[in-house]
C-alpha cells in the first residue's frame, strides 16, 4: 500500500503537496484562531507540513494519515526538525474510511477528496471524527474560468465540466451539505506555479541521476509537456482553496 513511484518523484522536494505555499498555510492556521492543545486530524496528510508547522506556531496536537511511506518519512523528519515530535503522530494507512478514536477539534482533508468519493462523501467522513462544534477543512479545486473545450478539460485533469464547480457554486454546495463556510484561503497563480514548477526541477534532477531507470521515458515525456500544459490550462482555468466549515 503506497503511492505510485512517479508521484513521489514528482513531488519529492515538496513540503506541501497542493497549490498552497508556506505563507498561505500559515495564513490559514492564523485565520482559524487555533487554541493551544486543539486536536487536529489530517487525512491524506502528505509530508505533514500542516500539522508540524501548526504544532510549532499554535501549540496544536494532531494525527496525520497517509498512504505514502516516502511522504510519511518526511513528515516524521520534519516533526523532529521543528521540535514537535511529541505533539504529532503519523500513521501509514489508507485515509479512506479512517475515523479518529477520539473526537477532534479540526478534521481536515486538504486536497484529496477522492478519499470520500468527492466533496460530499469527504465531509461525511470527516464528520465522523469531529466533536460537536468542531471545524472541517476541505481543500478543493474550482473553475476560475469556464472551460471552453475538451482539450482544456483534459489539460486540467478533468473528464467533464462537472468534475469541478465554480467558486460560488462550491460555496453553495457546502451550504447544501448543512455547513456554514466560516473561512477560506485561496491559492493564486503564483502558488500554483510554485507547486507545479517545483515538480519540473524534481523530475529533471531525478532524470539526471537515474537515466536508465524503467520509469525514465515516462518522466522525460512528462517534463517535456507539463510546463506548457500548466501555463495553457491549469494556471488559467483552475482555482484551488481550503474552506473551513462548521455544521449548522
| Over residues 17-35, mean pLDDT | 95
Q: How far is Cα 187 from Cα 142, in angstroms, rounded to an integer?
A: 11
Q: Is a pLDDT exceeding 80 seen at residue 1?
A: no
Total structural domains within the chain: 1
**DSSP label at residue 162:** G
> Is residue 61, in this structure, part of any structural domain at all?
yes
User: What's the whole-number mean pLDDT along residues 37-62?
Assistant: 98
- CATH of residue 123: 3.40.50.150
pLDDT tops 90 at residue 159: yes
In the chain, which residue ranges form alpha helices assigned H by DSSP?
Answer: 5-10, 22-31, 49-58, 69-82, 119-127, 150-155, 167-176, 189-209, 216-229, 235-237
Confidence of residue 180 (pLDDT cuts 50, 70, 90): very high
Average pLDDT of span 111-118: 94
Q: Is 175 part of any domain?
A: yes
Structural domain includes residue 101: yes
Residue 216 in any domain: the answer is no
Residue 166: per-residue pLDDT:
98
Q: Check: CB of residue 50 under 8 Å from CB of residue 110.
A: yes
> Quick one: DSSP state of residue 150?
H
Beta bridge partners of 247: 179
Cβ-proximal residues to 28 (8 Å cutoff; 6+ apart), any chain? 20, 137, 183, 185, 242
Is the residue at 133 inside a domain?
yes
Does some domain include residue 139?
yes
Structure confidence at residue 112 as a pLDDT band (50, 70, 90): very high
Domain assignment of residue 38, yes or no: yes
The domain in which residue 184 lies consists of 5-147+160-188+239-247
Q: Using one digit for the tens of pLDDT, what is the confidence trace for 211-240? A: 999 999 999 999 999 999 999 999 999 999
Give residue 220's pLDDT.
98
Q: Is this prediction's pTM over 0.85? A: yes
Residue identified by cell 487525512 is 43
Per-residue pLDDT, 2: 82
Amino acid at each position: 500500500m503506497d503511492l505510485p513511484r512517479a508521484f513521489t518523484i514528482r513531488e519529492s522536494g515538496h513540503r506541501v503537496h497542493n497549490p498552497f505555499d508556506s505563507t498561505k498555510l500559515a495564513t490559514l492556521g492564523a485565520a482559524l484562531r487555533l487554541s493551544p492543545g486543539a486536536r487536529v486530524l489530517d487525512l491524506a496528510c502528505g509530508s505533514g507540513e500542516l500539522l508540524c508547522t501548526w504544532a510549532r506556531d499554535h501549540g496544536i496536537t494532531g494525527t496525520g494519515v497517509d498512504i505514502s511511506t516516502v511522504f510519511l518519512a518526511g513528515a516524521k523528519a520534519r516533526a523532529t526538525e521543528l521540535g514537535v515530535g511529541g505533539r504529532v503522530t503519523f500513521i501509514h494507512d489508507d485515509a479512506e474510511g479512517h475515523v479518529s478514536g477520539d473526537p477532534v477539534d479540526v478534521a481536515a482533508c486538504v486536497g484529496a477528496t477522492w478519499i470520500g468519493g468527492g466533496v460530499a462523501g469527504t465531509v461525511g467522513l470527516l464528520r465522523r471524527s469531529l466533536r460537536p462544534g468542531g471545524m472541517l477543512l476541505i481543500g478543493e479545486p474550482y473553475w476560475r474560468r469556464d472551460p471552453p473545450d475538451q482539450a482544456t478539460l483534459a489539460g486540467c485533469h478533468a473528464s467533464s465540466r462537472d468534475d469541478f464547480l465554480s467558486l460560488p457554486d462550491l460555496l453553495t454546495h457546502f451550504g447544501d451539505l448543512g455547513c456554514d463556510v466560516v473561512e477560506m484561503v485561496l491559492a493564486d497563480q503564483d502558488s500554483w506555479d510554485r507547486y507545479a514548477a517545483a515538480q519540473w526541477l524534481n523530475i529533471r534532477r531525478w532524470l539526471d541521476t537515474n537515466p536508465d531507470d524503467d520509469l525514465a521515458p515516462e518522466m522525460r515525456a512528462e517534463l517535456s509537456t507539463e510546463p506548457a500544459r500548466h501555463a495553457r490550462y491549469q494556471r488559467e482555468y483552475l482555482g484551488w482553496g481550503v474552506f473551513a466549515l462548521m455544521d449548522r
